[in-house]
């Protein structure tokens, strides 16, 4: 079963525009290394799950993977060959809205070289450009 919210506040969500950079969720908090979005976009629940599987197969045993995004926006579509009107279509899939700078995944318990390889596998699955960032030292 794909990731999706149990309840939503509003039945029909509008498209919206992705403007500006992420001010929250843009630092490595849980792990030692993080995968950060360089550009904005939507990441579907299916893509998030595919990334989780690819990373989990690599860090199995020694490391821990954290997923920092959740698909809470419904993306609707009207079936093909349907006439105009008749309202908005049914939810097609769920997506996470990602702004530039958002931390997508984090890993801990593995070396930097292993994290690089793990995030390279993850980057192939992502529809947006991403980069690996280390955790900033605390003061």
Structural domain boundaries enclosing 118? 33-78+89-134
Would residue 118 count as lying in a domain?
yes
For 46-66, write each residue's pLDDT tens digit. Answer: 999 999 999 999 888 889 999
Query: What distance in Å separates the CA atoms of residue 41 and residue 92, rounded to the nearest whole number?
Result: 17
E strand map for the chain: 33-37, 41-44, 64-67, 73-77, 90-98, 103-108, 130-134
Residue 110, pLDDT score: 94
* Its pTM surpasses 0.75: yes
Whether residue 114 lies inside any domain: the answer is yes
Determine, yes or no, domain membership for 60: yes
Residue 8 falls inside a structural domain: no
For residue 40, being part of any structural domain is answered with yes
Q: What is the pLDDT of residues 89-100, one digit of tens each?
A: 888 999 999 999
Does residue 1 have a pLDDT over 90? no
* 120 falls within a domain: yes
17 domain-assigned: no
Residue 112 has a pLDDT of 94
pLDDT surpassing 90 at residue 3: no
Contacts 24+ apart (CB under 8 A), 45-48: 45/2, 45/3, 45/4, 45/71, 45/93, 45/94, 45/95, 45/96, 46/2, 46/93, 47/125, 47/126, 47/127, 48/3, 48/96
**CA of residue 81 relative to chain centroid, distance:** 32
Q: How many domains does the chain have?
A: 1
Question: What would the pLDDT profile of 8-23 be if each residue is shown by its tens digit?
Answer: 888 788 899 999 999 9
Residue 74 lies in a domain: yes
Please write the tens of the pLDDT for every residue from 64-91: 999 999 999 999 998 889 999 988 888 8
Q: What is the predicted pLDDT for the residue at 89?
A: 87
CATH number of residue 45's parent domain: 3.90.1170.10
């Amino acid at each position: 079963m794909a990731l999706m919210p149990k309840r939503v506040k509003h039945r029909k969500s509008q498209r919206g525009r992705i403007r500006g950079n992420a001010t929250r969720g843009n630092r490595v908090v849980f792990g030692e290394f993080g995968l950060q979005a360089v550009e904005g976009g939507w990441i579907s629940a299916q893509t998030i799950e595919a990334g989780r599987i690819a990373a989990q197969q690599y860090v199995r045993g020694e490391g821990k993977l954290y997923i920092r995004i959740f698909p809470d926006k419904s993306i609707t579509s009207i079936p093909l060959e349907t006439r105009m009107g008749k309202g908005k279509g049914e939810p097609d899939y769920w997506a996470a809205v990602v702004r530039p700078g958002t931390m997508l995944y984090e890993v801990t318990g593995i070396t930097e070289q292993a994290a690089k390889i793990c995030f390279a596998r993850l980057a192939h699955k992502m529809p947006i450009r991403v980069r690996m960032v280390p955790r900033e030292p605390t003061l």
